[in-house]
Structure 1
Amino acid sequence: MDTAAITVTGLGIRFRRNRRGRRSFKDLFAGVRRRSRPNEFWALRNVNFHVTPGESIGVVGRNGQGKSTLLRLVAGVLLPDEGSVTVHGGVAPLIEITGGFVGDLTVRENVRLTAGLHGMARAEINRRYDTIIDFAELDDFQDTPYKHLSNGMKVRLAFSVVSQLEEPILLVDEVLAVGDKAFREKCYRRIDELLAEGRTLFFVSHNERDLRRFCQRGLYLNHGELVLDGPINEVLDRYNADSAARNKR
């Protein structure tokens, strides 16, 4: 446990239907039952696991089962209502294609701003800038406002910036599905390089082939609970069996 990259203990987070629940200061000191309100539900509850450095983890489950919420908790974007998430080392999050980017700023300005917000020093940004632009294939769009880019261009820029961060943990949540096939393959090669360097990967995808390619281990979430933690092939086999059983009902 002392060498864990990520430790999750008794993790739970609650939402209200249609929007995040608001709690008063008084609510923070109330018991869980007392804090419960109508129309609230637990997106995740009693989730426990730990990840060692260099592991590649695939998070499996149907839509709405808490996969993306788990990544946001690991990234620190959300705070839990119960339990804890402890991350040893920084994270490079590729969670939302618009996260950290400003529509009215140019591509050039956004690269410098976003990389800086993730802790990259100015000299390092200058050193890596051309690599970021080349990888994103946006050489002719450096002075174009971010809001005028296509979704595919935004994905290319986001991945290019995040993949240049030196953080030991990489979080990837479905966003590569937006890019074209040729760029996805380039991203996959970059992920292979990062894994070869010993990075830790947390990967959410509905693409079974990608999960089997990148991930050694799987976490299967169902109704906000962790129902299986094991080798990725076993986790996917269980998920597929459960899906087949549901379809027969």
Structure 2
Amino acid sequence: MLAQLLAQEPALRVVSSLAGRTERPGVLPGTVRVGGFGGVAGLADYLRAEQVAAVVDATHPFAETMSDHAAQACSQTGVPLVVVQRPPWVAGPGDRWTSVATVAEAAVSLSGIGTRALLTIGRQGVGAFAEVRDVWFLVRSIDPPTTLPPDAELLLDRGPFTLDDERGLLQRNDIDVVVTKNSGGAATGAKLVAARELGIPVVVVQRPALPPGVPIVATAAEAVDWLRRRLLDPRIRCNQRTVTELRP
């Protein structure tokens, strides 16, 4: 969404940087690069070499390392940085949430909560459940994890998911606990509504803290407005400016 909006700004050259962890990423306009930068120093060198005018951190809310590296590299180079992070989900009446700080804590907390779990945390964290022996898992992921729990079924699927979809999935598989990261957003939030309706408890891994002092916006449109104020002020003489968008 953000890359599409930025592509409509002729004064900006947009580079979308993908980590390369998703096998079939969506098609993006503008220039796309795939792979890491080589830590903070590598990213800082890239920003200088490409004369990047601004960085938009649009990574996943749990991409803690990338967000930290972006904040440090932008601080070192003086490049403006903004983070796009959709609001987190918030428990409401009828929700039965257990909040934990890490995926490892989620694995430990399952004991006594349920025996048939829908695990929707992305493929990278699934290995934390490899030693859980008393729970059957339905592991839903876009790409296959490298490790699965001993008693598990893999479901490769990509949102958005409707409420009817999620309700049916939970009922067909006799799910009695849901495990998720607090990613926020509507695309995957229907599972929480379905769990509430069915009285199913949810183990929620809360987000890591963002680097201090970095401006945060909630939507792609707000990020474009921020960039316009910083880079496209008509009082500033401007040739084409490069904006690097960091994505999952």
- Whether TM-score is above 0.5 comes out as no
- Report the TM-score, using the length of structure 1 for normalisation: 0.31
Q: Which is helix-richer, 1 or 2?
A: 1
TM-score of the two chains, using structure 2 as the length reference: 0.31
